Chains A and B, each alone.
Chain A
Amino acid sequence: MATMVAEAPLTRPREKKARAGRGDRIYHILIKAIVGMVLAIFAGVFTVVVIGAWPAVKRFGLGFLIHTGWDPVHLVFGALPFIVGTILVALGAMILAAGIGLMTAVCITELLPRWLQAPVTYLIELLAFIPSVVYGLFGLLVLAPFLQDTVEVWIMEHLGPHFEVFNGAPYGVGYMSAILILAIMLLPLIVTLSREALVLVPRDVREGGYALGLQKWDVVWGIIVPYARNGILGSLVLALGRALGETIAVAMTIGGGYSLPKTVMDQGYTLASVIANEFNEVSSDMYLSALIYCGLILLVITVVVNILAYFLIRRLSGAHGFKA
């Protein structure tokens, strides 16, 4: 398999010539139509969100992004805690999931015997098919009580007195549960996609390392992982998109709260989970508009992150000429 992939670049120019002509034109029209449709859908969604958020945008302006306070009765709204919450939860989950996920992918491709690789990969892929709400239930009913009785109590007793960030009450649900649940949800994505990138590394590259007498560890981390880095980064970008937008599992495990987090055990909201949890309690048009404003912020963050990631990957692949 590795050989086939390595040969692909050699045959590509010939294929291109053969495909010229009418087929080529149809292909171009099709591509343009699809691109147009995607852009139209995106523009439509964006317009609807902007229109919905407009009253709140007009009333609170950009101050909405940097103010704290959520008072539906007096119509005082500020999204800073949710923005911070979104970033903290996504970042925390990404750090855990990227570290563990990459390790796992490497273990699968480089350490497991071949006959075990496929079944293990399949099992991990299965994790991706579990619906978010089931992860949420698991977080709420199993993980949160577990954290509450063990880890959080320990943290409060042993670290709390010394560090302010650990000096909170063990609620169970809260940032810690949400981050862990989200990390578990991201794992299958990162593992399966980075595994694919690792498997595509040509055999000759791998053996080129072994032929120098390098140990497995040095070949894996110094040669194979760098070779696969575009695919791995791609998997991380997809996971980050999911982390920023994941709604129901986070809403069920993060507890809810309108102020900035002070300790790792606090409860709070992300942009997505505040919308999910508050939507049913909307008592005024301005309240609804403020929630949609939160949605607009999330949309912008997601788009910006993806554009940045695109340029990052392009720059990396351009600099080294390994185009995916």
Chain B
Amino acid sequence: MEVRDTDILKSDQSAASVDQAYKLRVKDLNFYYGAFQALHGISINAEKNRVTAFIGPSGCGKSTFLRTLNRMHEETPGARVDGEVLLDGESIFDRDISELRRSVGMVFQRSTPFPKSIFENIAYGLRIRGVDRSSISDLVEQSLKRANLWEEVKHKLNKSASSLSGGQQQRLCIARALAVNPELLLLDEPCSALDPIGTSKIEDLLLEIKETCTILIVTHNMQQAARVSDYTGFFLSGKLIEFNDTKSMFETPSSKLTEDYITGRFG
């Protein structure tokens, strides 16, 4: 397993197959917290190297949906899921969970650096996976550069990560996720705790990393969805009301509910 991981890191996605325009296909996904059904028959296809945004009022199931895609829900006792989730045509539920989570990176709403130095925040996961010593510092530098953070932290890599600003911490978490070269990156309201400058830095970053990676982002901010995403899905009460390319979604929503939401009439 170790050997294969390192290969993925080096071969830089050369394995991309042509016949699969869709990186991710979800079909009839139902999700339950115990007796409570949080998601009802969700079906979407996410296109490769595109940003897909999910919007919807609080509690509609956006985070729940995102968390099933790297099987993070399995850390929640009592959570249950049925339906199909295919990554490159293969069911995620058949894959080894650690290996799946390396190909499906995740960044949370509140940036949560580990209680370690900036360098170690990225190096820790790599080292545990058996990436050899000599390439670790290269990989750390490379992923900090990809996350547009390198210039700000290169002189203080050994400082504690908690000494960074909120926006820098969030980019560190993105760098941490990018270090393992994920094919799919899930972001759950990554900018909700950031100021406009921090937000725009992350948005620029997303547009850069979608060159190498498929991105799914949950956001409360409609303008953000419009700015960064190619496709948008609208959730309401655990159902996917509408899913379309972002332009049509915002200009000519086909559902009355979507229109009400994006014009701010509720939510």
Contacts and interface: CB of A to CB of B under 8 A. Distances in A.
Contact of A320 (B70, B160, B173): B160
A229 B162 CA distance: 15
A114 B77 CA distance: 8
B99 A204 contact: no
Contacts of A164: none
B114 A205 contact: yes
Interface residues of A, number: 26
A320 B75 CA distance: 28
B163 A204 contact: no
A20 B98 CA distance: 51
B120 to A, nearest CB: 9
Interface stretch (A37-45, A51-59, A219-227): A219-227
Number of contact residues on B: which range applies? 20 to 34
A215 interface: yes
A234 to B, nearest CB: 16
B124 A222 contact: yes
Contacts of A202: 110, 112
A211 B114 CA distance: 12
B77 A211 contact: no
Contacts of A206: 75
A214 interface: yes
Interface string A207-219: 1111111110010
B264 interface: no
B115 A226 contact: yes
A218 B126 CA distance: 12
B72 interface: yes
B114 A209 contact: yes
Given A207-B72, A213-B101, A218-B128, A226 B162 contact: no
Nearest to B74: A210
A212 B115 contact: no
A119 interface: no
Contact of A208 (B114, B129, B162, B180): B114
Best-surrounded residue of B105, B115, B124 (most CB of chain A within 10 A): B115
Interface in B103-160: 105-106, 108-110, 112, 114-116, 124-125, 128-129, 160
Interface in A94-124: 113-114
A210 B101 contact: yes
Interface in A18-69: none
B255 to A, nearest CB: 32
A205 B177 CA distance: 13
A13 interface: no
Interface of B: 70, 72, 75, 77, 97-102, 105-106, 108-110, 112, 114-116, 124-125, 128-129, 160, 162-163, 173, 176-177, 180
Leading 4 A-B pairs by shortest Cβ distance: A213-B101, A321-B162, A211-B106, A204-B112
Interface of A: 6, 113-114, 202, 204-215, 218, 222-223, 226-227, 229, 319-322
Given A212-B125, A213-B129, A226-B114, 7 more contacts: A204-B110, A213-B180, A222-B124, A223-B124, A226-B116, A321-B160, A321-B163
26 contacts: A6-B110, A113-B77, A204-B109, A205-B115, A208-B112, A208-B176, A210-B72, A210-B101, A211-B106, A211-B108, A212-B101, A212-B105, A212-B180, A213-B125, A213-B129, A214-B125, A215-B98, A215-B128, A222-B114, A222-B124, A222-B128, A226-B116, A227-B115, A320-B160, A321-B163, A322-B162
